[in-house]
Chains A and B, each alone.
Chain A
Amino acid sequence: MTACLYTRLDTVDDAVQCLASAGEDGHVIAGGVALGILMNERLVKPVHLLDISRIDALKRIEVTAEGVLSIGALATHQEVLTSAAVAATCPLLIEMSSEIACERIRNRGTIGGSICLGDPQGDPPVALLALDAVVRAAGPQGLRDIPIRTFFQDVYTTALQSDEILQEIRIPRIPDGGGMAYHKFSARRAMDYATTVSAAVQLACDPDDGRIINAGLGLGGVGVTPVWSKAIADGLLNATPCPEIFAWMRKMVHEELSPIGDHLYSADYKSHVAAVILRRATERAYNRAVAGSDRR
């Protein structure tokens, strides 16, 4: 049996240092949900496990003085789901987190782990794309901020360097009068990993005439990475929801996205579903914005 090394780390600095010295052999493990599956499937045979799961500094969820919602990379999905700070500032993340697998997975899986995996069907990346979040990474050269919209680069490939550790996710202050919604389609109502298409929408509208003045959106399960579409978001600006705008959105979804057909659904059907649920999420987000309250 190949011997595997194990190091438990207590601080981010130690983790960065250890990762640097472990080099290619280092495998960072947090909640172990994704890595655990890969190890059990014998697709990954770690040589040196760097356990960051006990770095308390990375578990904080707080709202900064500037109104930025800062979520430590090690916050579990369940902690995000039940966080008062998140509920007060960014209910989209609550709605999204409630859709992640089930509680026993949410109790170990972390928001940082989900982003680092870059799974095109993961829930958190989709919501964070809509929210225009910033990812803060710690590396040998110090901290680096990466806009989430440039973070997902290719199939399970992110902008995080191999010597960096994800430290926190920063979500800019949501202007008042905003509305957001997360919508997920899956074959079953029971938890589904393989077959989901999801859409997150964040909108703000002009209190006087109801025009959309700010829009962000993310889509999951419709390409090799989680997808952010600037074109569609920009097209919503100055519009109000109406059949014409939705028809335009549907056209854009079909043009902009390249979902991959799988053993359950064709690529075309996924595009179709993406267009439908993006519209539903947009309608719901808009209604919430107009209602002046983002509470569900």
Chain B
Amino acid sequence: MSVDISLRVNGAEHRLAVEPTETLVNVLRNRLGMTGTHKDCTMGICGACTILLNGQPVSSCLLLACQADGEAIRTIEGLERDGALSLLQEAFLRYGAVQCGFCTPGFLMIAVALLEKNPKPDRNEIIDALKGNLCRCTGYTKIVDAIEFVANN
């Protein structure tokens, strides 16, 4: 039985029919072609699939698409403004917060949510916010540096 749902992704409305067991990450990647949200552990642990659901970070690998019916979803594809990088994206670039980049979408979305809630987090608050996202390349330091730069600007 498929379910008709509507998703507002980065402001654009998408109407589609999904299977009840389809996860949001699969719908974003396979149905909407939005592959910026990555998929790895599918157990809510790595954080690569983090998106914002009504402004709050959630794991899109554990969220059924039909449960997100009618809700506002934000992904990495929605971070640019008029083709220009957001300050956060630029900070990730300049501070070397990205190496292989596979975890990057999740870290960016977590950082967006943090800074919207708390525009001036201190270093410990930043680290605490990142605690559920895994990165194997950078050792985290430069990711924290990048977010701290945005917090201070």
Answer yes or no: are A and B bound together in one complex. Answer: yes
Closest to A45 in B: B21
State which of A5, A33, A53, A108 has its C-beta within 8 Å of the C-beta of B1.
A5
* A residues in contact with B50, CB < 8 Å: 104
Residues of chain A from 1 to 54 with CB closer than 8 A to chain B in the complex: 1, 3-6, 8, 29, 32-33, 36-37, 39-41, 46, 49, 51, 53
**A4 to B64 alpha-carbon distance, docked (Å):** 13
Cβ–Cβ contact B1 & A6, under 8 A: yes
User: In the complex where A5-B1, A6-B20, A190-B131 touch, is A36 in contact with B64 (Cβ < 8 A)?
Assistant: yes
A3 to B20 Cα, complex, angstroms:
9
Assess whether A174 is interfacial by the CB under 8 Å rule: no
Taking the complex as formed, is B151 at the interface, i.e. its CB lies under 8 A from any CB of chain A? no
State whether the Cβ of B110 lies closer than 8 Å to any Cβ in chain A.
Answer: yes
Q: Write the chain B residue with the least CB distance to A107.
A: B56
**A104 lies within 8 A of B59 (CB):** yes
Q: Which residue of B lies closest to A51 (CB)?
A: B67
Q: Choose among A53, A78, A102 the residue that contacts B132 (Cβ–Cβ < 8 A).
A: A102
| Residues on the B chain within 8 Å of A190, using CB | 131-132
How many angstroms from the CA of A40 to the CA of B63 in the assembled complex? 11
The yes or no answer to A206 lying at the interface (CB within 8 A) is no
Q: A32-B64, A33-B44, A105-B44 are in contact. Are A4 and B21 (CB under 8 A)?
A: yes
CA distance A144 to B64 in the complex (A): 30
- Which of A46, A78, A104, A190 counts the most chain B CB atoms within 10 A? A104
Chain B residues within 8 Å of chain A by Cβ, number:
30
Query: Which of chain A's residues have a CB closer than 8 A to the CB of B3?
Result: 6
* CB–CB B132/A108 < 8 A: no
Do A53 and B67 touch across chains, with their CB atoms under 8 A apart?
yes
Q: Which residues of B contact A296 (CB under 8 A)?
A: none
Q: Using Cβ atoms and an 8 Å threshold, which residues of chain A touch B59? A: 33, 36, 104-105, 108
**Contact among A5, A46, A49, A108 with B62 in the assembled complex (CB-CB below 8 Å):** A108
B112 — which chain A residues lie within 8 A by C-beta?
Answer: none
- Give CA–CA (A107, B56) in the complex, Å: 7
Q: Which of B40-71 contact A (CB under 8 A)?
A: 42-45, 47, 50, 53, 56-59, 61-64, 66-67, 69
Asked whether any CB of chain A lies closer than 8 Å to the CB of B23, the reply is: yes
**Is A103 positioned at the interface, with any CB of B under 8 Å from its CB?**
yes
Report the bound CA distance from A199 to B67 in whole Å: 34
**Docked CA distance A71–B63 (Å):** 23
| A189 contacts B by Cβ under 8 Å | yes
Q: How large is the interface on A (under 10, 10 to 19, 20 to 34, 35 or more residues)?
A: 20 to 34
A5 to B61, CA, bound (A): 20
Judged by a CB distance under 8 angstroms, whether A191 is at the interface is: yes
The verdict on B80 contacting chain A, using a C-beta distance below 8 Å, is no
Give chain B residues whose Cβ lies under 8 Å from the Cβ of A32: 62-64, 67
User: Contacts A5-B20, A29-B67, A101-B132: A36 and B56 contacting too (C-beta < 8 A)?
Assistant: no
B1 contacts A36, C-beta separation under 8 Å: no
* Residues 14-34 (chain B) with a chain A CB within 8 angstroms: 19-21, 23
Q: How far does the alpha carbon of A174 sit from the alpha carbon of B110 in the complex, in Å?
A: 36
Nearest to B47 among chain A residues (CB) is A104
Chain A residue nearest to B50 (CB atoms) is: A104
**B51 to chain A: closest residue by CB:** A104
Q: In whole Å, how far is B57's beta carbon from the nearest beta carbon of chain A?
A: 4
User: Given A29-B64, A32-B64, A104-B110, are A39 and B21 also a contact pair (CB < 8 Å)?
Assistant: yes
**Do B131 and A36 touch across chains, with their CB atoms under 8 A apart?**
no
> Shortest beta-carbon distance, B77 to chain A, in Å?
18
Q: A33-B62, A190-B131 are in contact. Are A40 and B67 (CB under 8 A)?
A: no
For the complex with contacts A103-B110, A104-B50, A105-B59, 8 further pairs of A-B residues with Cβ separation under 8 Å are A32-B63, A33-B59, A37-B43, A51-B64, A102-B133, A189-B131, A190-B131, A191-B132
Give me 29 A-to-B residue pairs in the complex whose CB atoms sit less than 8 angstroms apart, sorted by A's number: A4-B19, A5-B20, A6-B66, A32-B67, A33-B44, A33-B59, A33-B62, A36-B44, A36-B59, A36-B63, A40-B42, A40-B43, A46-B21, A49-B21, A49-B64, A101-B44, A101-B132, A102-B131, A103-B56, A104-B47, A104-B57, A104-B132, A105-B44, A108-B62, A189-B131, A190-B131, A191-B45, A191-B131, A193-B45
